[in-house]
Structure formats: structure tokens, C-alpha cells
Chains A and B, each alone.
Chain A
């Protein structure tokens, strides 16, 4: 619908589009009092009940907070995009994609059925693919889109496998039914497999090390997409999954440690990668990765405080990172460049953007009194609480955050201060639509920081209930007084500023050696992709090589082997009762057929082959006569006659057969053919050695006259009981006849050109 609407209201479409997420936002907000009171809303509709798939949705604290983030940031982004996308040709389609994305993301966080969740999960991957590749005329866009799709889609497959295993262990796919099954699941033999598969899905989606490489590349997408999908929502889907299942299948060392370590490594590693970037969006992308790592790590710690930190940090990050991305988009849009080296002194030209950016930056750096500050404080506190690894982790966290501070200074502050630089486009303030969204988010960050109790505390309580088992009552306070955590916060800021100051010098002085390829996960991806392609080609070359007989051999062998195995298994239960009695006619017929077959195979003369084929057909007809099937026999005679005539007509003019195959091929084919023959003989012998049910036979015999009004039972079956089959048969014949006619009557195309 969006593209159509867009065509009508091109100018102001942003305003129209924004109503959709805003409406959702407020309807979710209206549920807030109930959720805060500890209730949860659950709706369920059976979809495929036989497979345990239901359209069941659950709104509790955790999903409500995600839903609010999704719709709020969505509203800001929709509005922003109204102005930003004006220059694009297919902006209408953009709204379609992003609308699909928002709906599926909401579905993801709301679904209470694992399989339903998977469906939405894949839908988000898919819409992300479309959005990253939105500038589909650029090769890099297409490549990045494909990369993101393959990585997240591959993870999605692992997730599906994990879900199915989980379903087979618990016997249900409803998430709310898992709630009390922690012991059952964790003690099951399949538990490690489940954990690994589910985490694989979550880590690829949330771009955890070593799958982080797709996220910076995904910055090829238009900026609103990056702000929405690749920082605020989609990449948090993995985090959401871990949080959602933390209570149900977590609590074991395997789960906690894997999550903790992966998160910590991602946090530090990706933060350092940001050091060399000069592109606004790439810088933000790497800091997003680092934050995602932190979130995952917090879930891995899993203490009360860590969950609290997780939650605050999650909201804070969505607010400030969305804002900064949109600011980056504004800068790009208004100045025409995203290179931080070329931006500067824009404070005067774009005062509102500058203020917004400053607010978001302070939040991101963790400066009082914004929500980011509370977030960072609690993160530090949660880490300090740990007795194992606490010291290492705090050092890593401080360092990673210092890099984030550096990124913030580069992105949120530097473009606005200092000397005004020449930019490709004359800088001026952005239109209103591009300002409201980010400004709103940034202000919200400030408000939540100043009055944390107002909104977050209740939500936090309810969300924590879904993540942890026990009730929590945690107060969030802005000011804790001077303590170790505060000192650490300041240390972070200082370090960050230092990094920022040193950055130009370091970058100039040192040529960083590029990492050897085998250390880079993105290189693994490239290799795997190339390997897969060449494997596919190789396979095609071997299997689809154009030789008809190779196809036949593959089919025959593939059918023969499992069938023989089944026959072998069944042979134990059956015994063949051979009946050697034979009459003269039978022996003679058998002899004739065998001779005719032998002649047909060996003959080089076409006429002789046709004659033996005819002899064979007529002998088989006589067998039908002997065994009380006069109708079949008559048909066989008629058809065989026609057949022979046809063959003679077509083939008489052609020369003798040449021996074309090598003898080795002949032997191979003979071996295959005779094994098929032996197999079929055995099948028939087995099949005829037990009692056959006579129900159908008696039914047809008894019903033939009263119901079919005919004495010949076979005929009655054909024209009455199975009349539709016969109709189909006639149709086939008619089609064949038309085909034959068409082929024989039309002139040959190639004959004209020798």
C-alpha cells in the first residue's frame, strides 16, 4: 500500500507514514500500566496445530520494552526518511520494506511460539536484505546485502535446528510453557546441541564475534535503515532471544560462559576496530557492535545487577545511537559527505542538529545527567560485582568504552566545532522532518536520565522477571555519590579524550599492517562463499553432465540401494515357496521371450530388432491369455501391431546400428542392469509368496452387475468404477497424438541451414 500512497503524497509522505508506528507506540504505551502491574497479555490462535505452530503472542515486560523501542525509533525514522529519501527514485518501495520490517520485528518480540518467532526472525533478515540492497545499482550494496543475508540466514537455519531440538525435548513450542522446564531442558542429553545452535542464531543476528563483519558492510543501506535496523532494532533480535530464553535454558556454565566470553570479546575487539575508520556510519557501526557485545556480556553475567544494567543500557543505546545515526544521515544529506576529515564547524549552520548531536553524544559517552550515564554506571557496577574475571572484564569494558567515547567525539562533536570546512554541498539546517525525530529521541534520553524512576523502574522489574527467575526490586538512581564506579566513568572519559587526541598522530605515524587473511572472519566468509560456489559448479559438472545414461545410472542406483536394503530386511520375515510346476505352453513362451530379448539386445539390424520386439510383445499377450486376462491380451495384440508398424515406418530408412559404447561401459551397464533384474525377480517372488487380501476382488465381482450393469468385470472397472482414470488416459493419448502430429507436420527449423 505504501508505494501507492507515496505516489499521491510525495511531498508529505513522512507525516503520513509516521502515523503507523506512532499509533502502535501509543497503543503499546496504553498497555503499560497493566504490564507494570505484573500482568501479561497473551493471545493465541491455532495455525498449524498438528505441528504445534500457533499464532500466539505474549506481551510482558521484556517484549513491551522492545516493542516500545521499535515503535518509537520507528516513528522517528519514518519521519526522518520522509525528507531523507526524497531524492531516491523508489522511495515508495523503501516504505514498503521498512514497514514489513517493523511489523516482523514487532512480531518477533511479541511471539510466544518458537516457530512463529523463527518465521518473523527470517522475515527481518529478509527485509534487511532488501533494505541494505536498496541502492541495487551499486555492486557493493548488493554484495553487502547478500553477505548480511547469508550470515543471518545461515544463523537462522541453526536457530531453526535449535528450536526443533528444543521442541522435541519439551514437546511444545510455546515459549511460556518452557518457563518451568529449565531442569528438564538443561539435564537433557541434547542440551549442548540446543545451546550451540540457538546461540549461533543469536550471535549471527546480533553480529557477535566472529560474525561481526556483516554489520559495518551493511552501512551501505540508506541511513534511516542503518539507524533503525542496524543499531536500534534488528541486531538486538539476537540479544532479545538470549534474554528471552535466559531463564528457560540458561543458568548452566555452558550457556553463561559462552555468552559472557563471546560478548566480552566482541565488545573489546570491535571497539578497537573503530580506531581507523573515517566514515561517520562505519564509526557508529563499530561502536554499535561494541555495545551489542556489552549487552550480550551482561546477559552472560546474569546477576540481578547485570540484568538491570542490560536493560538500561539497551534503552539508552537505542535512544542515542538512533539519534546519532540520524544526525549522521542529516550531515550526509546536507553536506554531501560522510568523511569526518571533511566535516567541521557546522555548529553555526546547523544549530539544532548540533544540539541534538551533543545531547546524544553526552548520553553515549556516559556524561551526567543523561541515561547513558546511568547505563554505563550500572554496567561497571555489574562487572565489579563478579568475583571471577572481574578485573579483566572491567579493564576490557573501560577500554572498549574509551573507544566508544572516541567515536562519539569524532561523530557527534567534531563535525560541529572547529573551523568551517568546505563541503561538497553548502551546509544549511535540515528540514523540520529530519530534525524532529532525532531531537525527540535525544530529549527522551535526557528526560529518562533525569527522572529514571518515572518510567523505567516498573518496566525493569517486569522485564527482569522474564529474564531471571526471581522478582527483583531495583531502584535506579542517577547519582550514586563518588565511588569507584564514578571514578571509572571519569577514567573512561579521559581515556577516550586521550584516544581522540592521539588518533591523528597515531594514524599518521604508523602504517597499520593489514591483518593476514586467515585471521579475518570476513575472509573466512569470502572463502566459504567461493568454496560453496565452486562446489556447486563442480557438482553440477559431475551430476548434470548432459549424458542421459549417467542420469539414468544415478537414478537407478539411488533407487536400487535403499530398496535392496529394505528387501533384505524384509527377507527375514518372509519365505519363498517356489512352485516349479510348468506346462509345455509356458515353457515354450518363456523360451521365446528369452530368445527374443537376447536378439533385441545383441542385434545390429534394425528390422531384426523390431521383429524381436514384436515377438516379445505378442508372447506377453499370450501369457495374458493363458492367465485369464482376455481384455488385456486383446489390447496388447492391438498395440503391439501398431507399435511394430510405427517402428518400421520410422526406422526403416536408417542404417545399421554402430557399436558405439566401449566394452568397459557395456560391462558396467550389464552389471547394473542385471542387478536390477535380480532385484525385481526377488521382489516378485517375495510379493507372491504371501496371502493376498481378496476384499477388492470380491467387491468388484459382486458390484459389477448390480452397480455397473456389466458382466465383464474388467470393463466395468475401467468405464465405471475408475472412469475418471480412463478419462485421464484418453486425455494423455490425445495430448500425445497432438504432440506427434505437431512434430511430424511442422517443418524442421535447422534443415534450411546446412
Chain B
């Protein structure tokens, strides 16, 4: 798994980047979600993987015996996931509004709402 996870992370990054380069706004949102997953997994992996030993302090003691999973990356990821969700929800709502207003989900068509004026060039 030490090798498989990095490969999966790379794949997720590639998929995410590929999707945010699409013209369709929905796909861009998908891309953002995947990039979020990829980043979380990366932090998790870089913090070292430990199987079957979550960071719980056993009853009656004050310390945990090695080996146990590093709690800090987990805490960081938890924050990241929640914030990521906030952003997704916001983006989805933004997308819905944009679609209603502009009648398109193509980013290239949206750009003519704020283009640099041609005459001044």
C-alpha cells in the first residue's frame, strides 16, 4: 500500500487538474472536489500510515503506547474536509445561480460578460 497510495494520489491530482481545465462548470466543480480528496490523502499519507491503532488514550493511563497513528494530520484533514465542503456547497449554489442567470454552463461563454473592451486595444 505504501506504493499504491501515492499512485492513487497522483491519479486523483491528475484527474482533478484535468477536470478543472474543462469548459463545463460542473466538471470544474467535480475537479475541485477531487483535488480536495487528493490533498487530504496526501497529508494523511505524508503523516505516515499506521494500521489498526487509532490515537486513543486507553482508560486508566495518561499516554499511548507506540505504535499509534499520528493524530495531528488527522485533525488537519478534518478541518480541511469541513472547509472543503463549505466551499463545494458554495460553488454548487453559485453554479446554479449562474446557470439560471446566464443560461449556460460553458465557462467560455460566460467570459463575454467581463471582457476587456476590444476598441481600446
Question: Which residue on chain A has the smallest CB distance to residue B77?
Answer: A632
> How many of chain B's residues have a CB under 8 angstroms from any CB in A?
95
| A684 lies within 8 A of B46 (CB) | yes
Bound complex: CA A181 to CA B27 (Å): 65
How many A-B pairs fall under 8 Å by CB? Answer: 290
Question: Of A646, A657, A673, which one neighbours B89 at CB under 8 angstroms?
Answer: A646
Taking CB atoms and an 8 Å cut-off, the chain B residues in 77-121 that contact chain A are: 77-79, 81-90, 92-97, 99-102, 105-108, 111-112, 114-116, 120-121
From the candidates A540, A624, A632, A681, name the one contacting B7 in the complex (CB within 8 A): A681
Partner of B107, one of A537, A549, A684, A733: A549
B63 contacts across to A, CB distance below 8 A = 701-702, 705
A505 at the interface (CB under 8 A from B): no
Identify the interface centre among A594, A601, A626: most chain B CB within 10 Å of its CB: A601
Q: Is the CB of B78 within 8 A of A635?
A: yes
Asked if A743 and B96 make an inter-chain contact with CB atoms under 8 angstroms apart, the answer reads: yes
- Do A673 and B15 touch across chains, with their CB atoms under 8 A apart? yes
Q: Does A482 contact B (CB under 8 A)?
A: no
Does A483 sit at the interface, judged by CB under 8 A?
Answer: no
A541 contacts the other chain (CB 8 A): yes
A681 touches B6 (CB 8 A): yes
B21 touches A672 (CB 8 A): yes
Choose from A546, A629, A713 the contact partner of B111 (Cβ within 8 Å). Answer: A546
Secondary structure of the B contact surface, majority rule = helix
Bound-state Cα–Cα, A84 to B36, Å: 68
Residues A628 and B54 in contact in the complex (CB < 8 Å), given A578-B3, A606-B26: yes
CB–CB A684/B6 < 8 A: yes
A:570-608 near B, CB below 8 Å:
578-583, 586-587, 590, 593-594, 597, 600-601, 606
B55 to chain A, nearest CB (A): 4
CB of B6 within 8 A of CB of A688, answer yes
Write the nearest CB–CB distance from B53 to chain A, whole angstroms.
5
Other-chain residue from B21, B55, B120 in contact with A549 (beta carbon distance below 8 A) = B21
Q: Is A517 close to B, CB under 8 A?
A: no
Q: Cβ of A660 and Cβ of B24 under 8 Å apart?
A: yes
CB of A627 within 8 A of CB of B33, answer no
Q: How long is the Cα–Cα vector from A552 to B15 in the complex, in angstroms?
A: 14
| A726 to B13 Cα, complex, angstroms | 27
Least CB distance from B5 to A in Å reads 7
Interface residue? A90 (CB, 8 A): no
How far is B110's CA from A708's CA once the two chains are assembled, in angstroms? 51
Q: In the complex, what distance in Å separates the CA atom of A549 from the CA atom of B93? A: 21
Query: Are the CB atoms of A597 and B11 closer together than 8 Å?
Result: yes
**CB pair A751 B100 closer than 8 Å:** yes
Give bound CA distance, A687 to B17, whole Å: 22
Q: Indicate whether A685 reaches chain B with its CB closer than 8 angstroms.
A: yes
B68 contacts across to A, CB distance below 8 A? 628, 701
- Across the interface, B41 reaches (CB within 8 A) one of A581, A620, A639, namely A620
Kindly state whether residue A422 has any CB partner on chain B within 8 Å.
no
Bound-state Cα–Cα, A590 to B45, Å: 14
Taking a contact as CB atoms under 8 Å apart, the answer to whether B69 and A628 are in contact is: yes
Across-interface contacts of A624 in B (CB, < 8 A): 44
**Min C-beta distance of B16 to chain A, whole Å:** 8
Question: In angstroms, how far is the closest chain B Cβ from the Cβ of A690?
Answer: 11
Are B79 and A726 in contact, with the CB atoms below 8 A?
yes
Contacting pair B15 A717 (CB below 8 A): no
Query: A744 contacts the other chain (Cβ, under 8 Å)?
Result: yes
Q: Which residues of A contact B41 (CB under 8 A)?
A: 620, 623
CA distance A673 to B6 in the complex (A): 16
Minimum CB–CB distance for A735 against chain B, Å: 8
A516 at the interface (CB under 8 A from B): no
On whether the beta carbons of B42 and A680 are closer than 8 Å, the reply is yes
Are B71 and A701 touching (Cβ within 8 A)?
yes
8 A Cβ contacts from B1-55 to A: 1-24, 26-28, 30, 33-34, 37-38, 40-42, 44-55
Interface residues in A, total, Cβ within 8 A: 106
Min C-beta distance of A144 to chain B, whole Å: 24
A736 touching B86 by the CB < 8 A rule?
Answer: yes
Residue pair B62, A616 in contact (C-beta under 8 Å): no
Q: Which residue of B lies closest to A586 (CB)?
A: B1
Q: Shortest Cβ distance from A623 into chain B, in angstroms?
A: 7
Q: Say yes or no for A613: interface residue by CB 8 A criterion.
A: yes
Q: In the bound complex, do residue A680 and residue B18 qualify as a contact, i.e. CB atoms below 8 Å apart?
A: no
Q: Which residue of A lies closest to B114 (CB)?
A: A546
Task: Specify the chain A residue showing the minimal Cβ separation from B69.
Answer: A628
Is A628 a contact partner of B53 (Cβ separation < 8 A)? yes
Distance in angstroms between the alpha carbons of A343 and B59 in the assembled complex: 105
Q: Is the CB of B27 within 8 A of A657?
A: yes
B18 to chain A, nearest CB (A): 4
- A680–B42 Cα gap in the complex (Å)? 9
Assembly CA distance A702 to B95 (angstroms) = 46
- Interchain CB contact (< 8 A) of A635 among B10, B53, B82: B82
| Distance A600 CA – B14 CA, assembled complex (angstroms) | 12
Is there contact, CB below 8 Å, between A628 and B52?
yes
Asked if A147 CB lies within 8 Å of chain B CBs, one says no
Closest to A669 in B: B21
Chain A positions 692-709 with a Cβ under 8 Å from a chain B Cβ: 692, 694, 696-697, 700-702, 704-706
Q: Are B28 and A548 in contact (CB under 8 A)?
A: yes
- Is A184 an interface residue, CB under 8 A from the partner? no
Q: How far is the CA of A722 from the CA of B24 in the complex (A)?
A: 38
Closest partner residue, chain A, to B33 (CB atom): A613
Least CB separation from B72: chain A residue: A696
Q: Is A453 part of the contact surface with B, judged by Cβ < 8 Å?
A: no
Flag whether A676 is at the interface (Cβ < 8 A): yes
Q: How far is the CB of B1 from chain A (nearest CB, A)?
A: 5
Against B, the Cβ 8 Å flags (1 = close, 0 = not) of A719-733 are 000100110010011
A670 part of interface (Cβ distance < 8 Å): yes
Contact status A733-B1, CB under 8 Å:
no
Report the separation of the CA atoms of residues A545 and B120 in the bound assembly, to the nearest whole angstrom: 14
Q: Report the minimum CB–CB distance from B43 to chain A (whole Å).
A: 10
Instruction: Report the separation of the CA atoms of residues A553 and B22 in the bound assembly, to the nearest whole angstrom.
Output: 11
The answer to whether A639 touches B13 (Cβ under 8 A) is: no
By the criterion CB–CB under 8 Å, are B57 and A688 in contact?
no
Q: What's the nearest-Cβ distance from chain A to residue B60, in Å?
A: 10
A678 at the interface (CB under 8 A from B): yes
A-B CB contact pairs (8 Å), 11 listed = A548-B28, A632-B77, A646-B88, A646-B92, A676-B14, A680-B38, A685-B3, A701-B55, A701-B57, A722-B75, A735-B86
Given contacts A628-B69, A679-B10, A685-B6, 18 further A-B contacts (CB under 8 A): A537-B120, A546-B112, A593-B8, A623-B44, A647-B92, A669-B18, A677-B15, A684-B9, A688-B46, A697-B71, A701-B71, A712-B55, A714-B54, A717-B75, A722-B75, A729-B83, A735-B86, A737-B86
The 3 closest A-B pairs by CB, nearest first: A677-B14, A681-B10, A546-B111
